[in-house]
A = this chain, B = another copy of it.
Amino acid sequence: MTISPNAESVLRRNPLFAGLTESEMRSLAARVFPKRFSRGELLFSEGDACQGLFLVTTGKIRIFKMSPSGREQILALEGPGSTVAELPVFDGGDYPASASAAEDAEVLFISRKDFQNFCREHPEVALKVIAVVGGRLRRLVGIIEDLSFTTVRQRLIGLLLRLAKEKGKPSKQGLRIELGASHQELAAELGTVRELVSRNLGRLQAEGLIEIEGREIVVKDPAGLRREQAAAE
Annotate A92-132 by CB proximity to B: 1 below 8 A, 0 otherwise.
01001100000000000000000000000001001101110
Q: Which residues of the partner chain B approach A133 to less than 8 Å between Cβ atoms?
A: 130, 133-134, 137
Please choose the segment from A61-69, A159-167, A171-179, A214-222 that sits at the chain B interface, where 4 or more of its residues have CB less than 8 A away. Answer: A61-69
Annotate A72-84 by CB proximity to B: 1 below 8 A, 0 otherwise.
0101000000000
User: Shortest beta-carbon distance, A193 to chain B, in Å?
Assistant: 11
With CB as the reference atom, state the residue of chain B lying closest to A147.
B147
Interface presence of A144 (CB below 8 A): yes
Interchain CB contact under 8 A, B137 and A87: yes
Interchain CB contact under 8 A, B69 and A148: no
Interchain CB contact under 8 A, A130 and B129: yes
Q: In the complex, A149→B71 CA distance in Å?
A: 8
Q: In the complex, A68→B229 CA distance in Å?
A: 12
Choice from B134, B149, B191 contacting A87 with Cβ under 8 Å: B134
User: Shortest beta-carbon distance, A68 to chain B, in Å?
Assistant: 5
User: Shortest beta-carbon distance, A63 to chain B, in Å?
Assistant: 10
Interchain CB contact under 8 A, A140 and B138: no
| Count of A interface residues, CB-CB < 8 Å | 36
Annotate A38-69 by CB proximity to B: 1 below 8 A, 0 otherwise.
00000000000000000000000000010111
Interface presence of A141 (CB below 8 A): yes
Interface presence of A232 (CB below 8 A): yes
Q: In the complex, A191→B133 CA distance in Å?
A: 24
Interchain CB contact under 8 A, A144 and B140: yes
Interface presence of A13 (CB below 8 A): no
Interface presence of A233 (CB below 8 A): yes
Interchain CB contact under 8 A, A145 and B73: yes
- Interface residues, chain A, with chain B CB atoms under 8 Å away: 65, 67-69, 71, 73, 75, 87, 90-91, 93, 96-97, 123, 126-127, 129-131, 133-134, 136-138, 140-141, 143-145, 147-149, 191, 230, 232-233
17 of the cross-chain contacts (CB-CB < 8 Å) are A65-B144, A68-B230, A68-B233, A69-B149, A69-B233, A73-B145, A75-B141, A87-B130, A91-B131, A96-B141, A97-B141, A123-B123, A123-B126, A126-B126, A129-B130, A133-B133, A144-B147
